[in-house]
Amino acid sequence: MNTWFNTLLVLVLALNLFALGTSRLVTMIKIVSLQGLLLGLMPLLIEDHLAVTSALASILAIFLKGMIIPSMLLRAIRDVHIKREIEPLIGLLPSMLLGALVTGFALLFASSLPLAEGDTPPLLVPASLATIFCGFILLTMRLKAITQVMGYLVLENGIYIFGLLLVEAMPLVVELGVLLDLFVAIFVVCIMVNHINKTFSSLDTRLLTSLKE
Q: How far apart are CA 151 and CA 138, in angstroms?
A: 5
Q: CB-wise, 52 or 114, nearer to other proteins?
A: 114
**Under the rule (CB under 8 A), what is the footprint of other proteins?**
113-117, 132, 139, 145, 148, 152, 155-156, 159, 162-163, 165-166, 168-171, 173-174, 177-178, 181, 184-185, 188-189, 192, 195-196, 199-200, 205, 208-211, 213
Q: How far is the CB of 46 from other proteins (least distance, A)?
A: 14
Q: How far is the CB of 158 from other proteins (least distance, A)?
A: 8
Q: How far is the CB of 169 from other proteins (least distance, A)?
A: 4
99-126: string of b/e by CB count within 10 Å (b at 16+)? bbebbeebbeebeeeeeeeeeebebbbb
Q: How far is the CB of 79 from other proteins (least distance, A)?
A: 16
Q: CB-wise, 3 or 168, nearer to other proteins?
A: 168
